Amino acid sequence: MAAASLSGLVPNHRDFDLPIARILHVDCPHHYRYGQPGETEEAFATRLAEALEQRILAEGPDTVAAFFAEPVMGAGGVIVPPATYFEKIQAVLRKYEVLLVADEVICGFCRTGEMFGSTTFGMQPDILTSAKALSSGYMPISAVMVSEKVHAAVAANSGKIGTFGHGFTYSGHPVAAAVALETLKVYEDEHLLAHVQSLAPQFQQGLQRYASSPLVGEVRGVGLIGAIELVADKARRTPFDPASKTGGRLAQLAQEQGLIVRAMGDAVAFCPPLIITAAQVDEMFARFDRAMVRLEQEQP
Ligand SMILES: Cc1ncc(COP(=O)(O)O)c(C=O)c1O
């Protein structure tokens, strides 16, 4: 319940009595949606960092333990933070000794063009969570990495309590750990990080082609993750009526072309396998082109 409360995803909260008390949310760093007219990404980031500081002061800095963030919000619609966002947020966190927890479940292991999204965005997290690509998804495993400072505090207090009283039946399972180790070896042996870095420009440029579509409000992404956001009125940035399920329809049309994309509302996301080749990136967009043409034809 605490983990679901950390998310800002409304469907994860609604009818579950979430978020639970003492987990608070701050402004969503989506410049296209929440930036004011004429506001630069940098000015937007400054405004959000100032709002965070005011919120910490209002709550009482001693009551604020940690700030949780994904480097890029994945299931939230591939929201890439505005320029200077984490730099400014971290300055506030340091000022009030609030820990930074980076949720790298989606961003970790090459996805953003660095081994971790934290590297891509200049984050120095105290705690980092990872899963999915840790085993390339072949085996259920997750890992939490903590800084020396956090470890020392946990170790000291565990000595006081007698044990670190949090574990799971399958904690440290050797089969899952062996698969994760082998996966990390494949990343190194097959130079997958360099591969992602070499394909990212082609992938991002391919996505940018859709920016000129009358149905697309924003194209965003980094490394080998990206999304297009569909809008009913491009000039006014008006979203489609949710009842029209336009994003879902586009995902369906793509699937008819043999391409799986993920619709999150009207954000339609691409997250190809890290081993995708240049020719396959072209093929992916060729298939998506056909889906987009169909969607445009279906519009009234
Ligand atoms: C960013 C992020 N964090 C956490 C989770 C949940 O991870 P787990 O299923 O390992 O608890 C997800 C699930 O998709 C996710 O995308």
CA of 33 to the centre of ligand 1 (A): 24
Confidence grade of residue 284 (pLDDT, cut at 50, 70, 90)? very high
Nearest CA to ligand 1 atom 10: 131
Instruction: Indicate the SS3 state at residue 81.
Output: coil
pLDDT bin (cut points 50, 70, 90) of residue 244 is: very high
Please check whether residue 77 is in contact with residue 265, taking contact to mean a CB–CB distance below 8 angstroms. Answer: yes
pLDDT tens digits for 74-105? 999 999 999 999 999 999 999 999 999 999 99
pLDDT the model gives residue 44? 98
158 versus 112: the higher-pLDDT residue is: 112
pLDDT bin (cut points 50, 70, 90) of residue 58 is very high
Count CA atoms within 13 Å of residue 185 on its CB side: 6
**3-state secondary structure (DSSP) of residue 73:** strand
Phi–psi pair at 263, nearest 5 degrees: -95, 130
Q: What is the pLDDT of residue 162?
A: 84
The residue whose CA has the least distance to atom 3 of ligand 1 is: 105
Write the residue with the smallest CA distance to atom 13 of ligand 1: 105
Which of 106, 130, 271 is the pocket-test mutation for ligand 1 (most atoms within 8 Å of CB)?
106
Which domains are assigned to the chain?
2-189 (3.40.640.10), 192-298 (3.90.1150.10)
> 70 in ligand 1 pocket by Cβ < 6 Å?
yes
Confidence of residue 300 (pLDDT cuts 50, 70, 90): confident
Give residues with Cβ within 8 angstroms of 57, minimum separation 6.
Answer: none
Give, using CA atoms, the residue closest to atom 15 of ligand 1.
105
Distance 105 CA to ligand 1 centre (A): 6
Average pLDDT over the chain, rounded to an integer: 96
Q: Whose alpha carbon is nearest atom 9 of ligand 1?
A: 131
Within 13 A of 65's CA, how many CA atoms are on the CB side?
6
**pLDDT: is 243 or 165 the higher one?**
243
Query: According to the model, what pLDDT value does residue 161 have?
Result: 84
- Distance (angstroms) between ligand 1 centre and the Cα of 103 equals 8
Please state whether the peptide bond connecting residue 19 to the residue before it is cis, i.e. omega within 30 degrees of 0. yes
For residue 13, name the pLDDT band (cuts at 50, 70, 90). very high
Q: What is the band of 270 on the pLDDT scale with cuts at 50, 70, 90?
A: very high
Find the mean pLDDT for residues 138-163: 92
pLDDT of residue 256: 98
Rg (CA), the chain: 21
pLDDT value at residue 87 = 98
Judge if pTM exceeds 0.75.
Answer: yes
Ligand 1 centroid–CA 300 distance in Å is 38
pLDDT digits (tens, 9 = 90+) for 160-216: 888 887 888 999 999 999 999 999 999 999 999 999 999 999 999 999 999 999 999
177 CB under 6 A from ligand 1? Answer: no
Predicted pLDDT of residue 132 = 97
Centre of ligand 1 from the C-alpha of residue 297, in Å:
36
How much is the pLDDT for 55?
A: 98
- Residue 245, burial from CB neighbour count under 10 angstroms (0-12, 13-18, 19+): middle
